Amino acid sequence: MLDNGETKKTPITPEKIFTNRYSDGLNSDRQNPEERAWMFKNIFNRDIFKPKGFLDQEIVKGKVLDLGSGKGGLGIFLKEINPEIVIVGTDTVDYSKKGLISDRYSEIFQQEAVAFLEDVQKSGKKFDLIVSCGLPYETIIRLIEKIDFGQVLDQNGTALFLVDYQLDEETIAIAESKGFSIRQGNYPIDLCIITCFASANLKPA
């Protein structure tokens, strides 16, 4: 306590924000988009993008689909990397009506991720990057089992899914048999990175 009777406030460092916000989980809606963008920047720089990770930032290009876009924190981060991208978001909650969604998105659809991609398959549309952070376990399994990513990714496109839980051995075997790769992130704990590439001869769903 200070001499004037006020309580001394402990400065909140970026590291403190990251730890606190991640404790809510990747799919939490409690924090604002700017804080989420900061968290994603740290995760991608630690585990995804070179030199520490395994992918070049050039995968962020063209048409981008954000599955489970929430309030748009990921869109803010991706636009910082490449302002020229066109981002489409989909989520079961329509944050745009609440005035919470980031203006980085060209379109937002209120639709479940698997159902949306099934419609994309039928339409013939393709994306250069399909990305998600924090989709539920059941949704990830259904994406792997039901979606032919060779049909929804453009040439040299990438699908990148981050989850904060571990996949069981059976799911990993199915995913790898269809051309996905599974990596364990270094920080925060329990980060699992699921990727596939249009150029990798993906097996149909």
Task: Confirm whether 6 is domain-assigned.
Answer: no
> What CATH number has the domain bearing residue 152?
3.40.50.150
- The tens place of each residue's pLDDT in the chain, 205 residues long, gives 445 555 444 443 444 444 444 445 566 666 788 888 888 998 899 889 999 899 999 999 999 999 999 889 999 999 999 999 999 999 998 776 665 566 789 998 999 999 999 999 999 999 999 999 989 999 999 999 999 999 999 999 999 999 988 888 999 999 999 899 999 876 555 688 999 998 655 555 5
Structural domains counted in the chain: 1
Task: Confirm whether 35 is domain-assigned.
Answer: yes
Task: Confirm whether 9 is domain-assigned.
Answer: no
The residues, ordered by sequence, that sit 6+ positions from 168 with a Cβ below 8 Å of its Cβ are: none
Task: Confirm whether 131 is domain-assigned.
Answer: yes
Is the distance from CB of 201 to CB of 178 less than 8 angstroms? no
The letter for the amino acid at 180 is F
Token representation of residue 117: 């991609």
Domain that holds residue 74: 14-200
**pTM (predicted TM-score):** 0.84
Token representation of residue 122: 């039928």
